[in-house]
Structures are given as C-alpha cells and as structure tokens.
Copies of this chain bind each other. A is one copy, B any other.
Amino acid sequence: MTRPRSRRGGGRPTISDVARKAGVGAITVSRALREPERVSEELRRQIQAAVDELGYVPDPNARALASARAEVFGVLVPSLTNNVFAEVVRGIYDSLSASPFRIQLGNTHYSGLEEERLLQLFGSQRPAALIVAGIDQTPASRKLLESAGCPVVQVMETGPDPVDMMVGFSHLDGGRAATEHLIEAGYRRIGFIGARMDPRSQRRLAGYRAAMEAAGLFDPRLVTTTPVLSSVSLGREMFRDALAKVPTLDGVFCNNDDIALGVLFECHRASIAVPKTIGIVGFNDLDMMQVAFPSVTSIRTHRYEIGRRAVAMALAAIAGNRPEQRIVDLGFELKRRESTAR
C-alpha cells in the first residue's frame, strides 16, 4: 500500500494536471506544447487555457530524460571576461532567448585538457547542439565532438576541416592585412606584440610574418610575445620591452586591442608621437578604439554576428535542413584611424 510520494516537486502542476483540467490525455498536452500543428484548433485552445490557469511550466529535466535530448546548447569559450568571447556569447544568448533552448556555458581557460573535461561533462546531458571556440581541439576533444550526436559549430575561426560546421574568419589574413597596412603607411621597423599566444594569436603572428617577409622587412627581434593573459597593463610593459630591444621600432601590430591601448598609453606617457614616431594597429576593434586619442586603427571582427550565425546554423541543422554551406567566413574589416595616419 504505497501512498504517492506527496509531490516532491513542491506542488507545481504537472502535465497530467493540465490534461485533467482540459479534459484530454496527457500526451495531447505534450503535443499541443511541442507540435501545436498536430493538435486541433479547439483542443489547443482548451489546453492553453488550462496551462495559463494553472501556471504550468514543463519540467525540462523530465522532458530531457524522456526524449533523450536536453534543450541545451553547450557553449565552450576560453574566457568569460575577455570582451571578444563575451560578445560571441551574447550573440548566442540573444539568438536563443526566444527558443526553448538554454545555454550551458563552459570556460576552458585556454586549456585543451579542461576542454576535454567539459565536453565529457556536457556529453552526459545530450545537448541539442555544441558551439565551441576555435579549431585546435585535441584529438580526444575532436572525437568527443564527432560522437556527440548533435550539430557542432566551431566559431571564431575558419579552417579546411570542420567537425561539422564553422563560422568565423581568418586570423592569418587579419594579421596580414594589419601588417600590410602599416607597411603601406610607410612604417618599416614594425613590431609584433602578443600576449596569451593562443592558436588564434599564433595565426595573427603568422599573418604578420608573411607580410613582413614579403616586404623583406622581417626580423625575429621585432616579435615580442608572452603566454601571460592579455591586459592593458601588460601591453604597456611589453611595449617597453619591445622598444628596449629595438629602439628603432616605428610601428606595432598588437595581438589585440587591450595590448594596443597599453601601447598607446605608454606612448603618451613617454611622449612618443603617434602616428608620427610610432604607428599602432590593434585587433578586434572594441568600441573604445575609435574614441581613443589618437583613434586606433584596428581589425574589426564580427563577434556578435558570429554568435548569431552559429546559432542559426545549429537550429537549422536541428530542424533537419542542415545549411549547405558548412563553412561561413564572416571576414573582417581594416578600420583605418589616426594611429597609422602619418
């Protein structure tokens, strides 16, 4: 003689409460909520009324258990505070907020091992889709992605060999464009300053190097890098190092805008004329770059749009019409500003 377990859920209405109130079967309520077109107009209305009256909200856990699919997008980024990824996440979030899908965020801290751990963890939830930053997954991570059994979108980069789909742009081309711009502007001893040399930064550096070599200007002493996390203050310090190493430096292509800003401030402090004595180019084009004095040339990237696009592609794939274009290159724009206008 087992009495029912007195509503563990704390008395929240369930699908059967709704069904009883609407005078239909539970399964019909379920359908009315998920595939309204398969339920008659009339029942749909009755059910909706019952839902509203009871304040019914489906339990996503029960749903996930029964359907073996959680309404969750797993999102893996290397940093939560880096504005660049925050913008991507915002794009993902905004595109998903009108859908039933939730976001499961993972911060890899730029670590391949942590990425593996998180993918393993996310897999246990059977997410509806996975969005991961970058294309340099470890072999184990790649295997996990391939066997996830859901759409996978790699974002922020493009490359020849997507796990599934890809939205991003070429960091190598971005680095090259930035460097070529400096060369065209007449700078010659152009340094590269890069912090936190993740794969994307490596490719920007490769682009820099390609441009410099093509112009016969490359000199390894011009390159200053560190694995330390990027920050404005680090930019300042690295610029001082770079200048100490190569006093004839007349331009810098920075890994990102934080570094560029640090360089700019140090120039002010040391009374180095920008763009006359030193030209500066950043990467990502944060809002403040066009406001800075002098305004700073940068490579505008479309982070928010990348997030939106990734979601759109994943949703299409979930709906069964996988986009034929599996690799989307959203490109970048060189924003010419005062910092290189000499």
Interface positions, chain A 297-337, Cβ under 8 Å from B, are none
Q: How far is the CB of A333 from chain B (nearest CB, A)?
A: 17
Interface positions, chain A 56-84, Cβ under 8 Å from B, are 57-62, 64-65, 67-68, 70, 80-81, 83
Q: Complex formed: what's the CA distance from A58 to B123 in Å? A: 10
Q: How many copies does the complex hold?
A: 2
The stretch from A24-32, A87-95, A194-202, A244-252 touching chain B is: A87-95
Interface positions, chain A 232-279, Cβ under 8 Å from B, are 232-233, 235-236, 258, 261-262, 265-266, 268-269
Q: Complex formed: what's the CA distance from A303 to B258 in Å? A: 20
Q: Complex formed: what's the CA distance from A65 to B124 in Å? A: 15
Given contacts A81-B87, A265-B292, contact A232 B126 (CB under 8 A): no
The verdict on A163 contacting chain B, using a C-beta distance below 8 Å, is no
Interface positions, chain A 112-169, Cβ under 8 Å from B, are 120-121, 123-126, 149
Q: Which residues of B contact A43 (CB under 8 A)?
A: none
The verdict on A226 contacting chain B, using a C-beta distance below 8 Å, is no
Q: Which residues of B contact A258 (CB under 8 A)?
A: 288
For the complex, count residues of A whose C-beta is within 8 A of B. 54
B70 touching A93, Cβ below 8 Å: no
Q: Which residues of B contact A89 (CB under 8 A)?
A: 80
Chain B, Cβ-Cβ closest to A118: B97
Chain B, Cβ-Cβ closest to A68: B8
Q: Complex formed: what's the CA distance from A268 to B293 in Å? A: 6
The verdict on A287 contacting chain B, using a C-beta distance below 8 Å, is yes
A68 touching B125, Cβ below 8 Å: no
B233 touching A288, Cβ below 8 Å: yes
The verdict on A227 contacting chain B, using a C-beta distance below 8 Å, is no
Q: Complex formed: what's the CA distance from A123 to B236 in Å? A: 47
Q: List 26 A-B contacts (CB under 8 A).
A: A8-B68, A9-B68, A9-B126, A57-B123, A59-B124, A60-B124, A61-B62, A61-B64, A61-B65, A61-B70, A80-B89, A81-B87, A102-B104, A103-B105, A231-B288, A232-B287, A233-B287, A233-B288, A235-B291, A236-B291, A261-B288, A261-B291, A262-B291, A265-B288, A265-B292, A268-B293
Given A61-B125, A102-B104, A265-B291, 4 further pairs, Cβ under 8 A: A62-B65, A233-B290, A261-B288, A269-B293
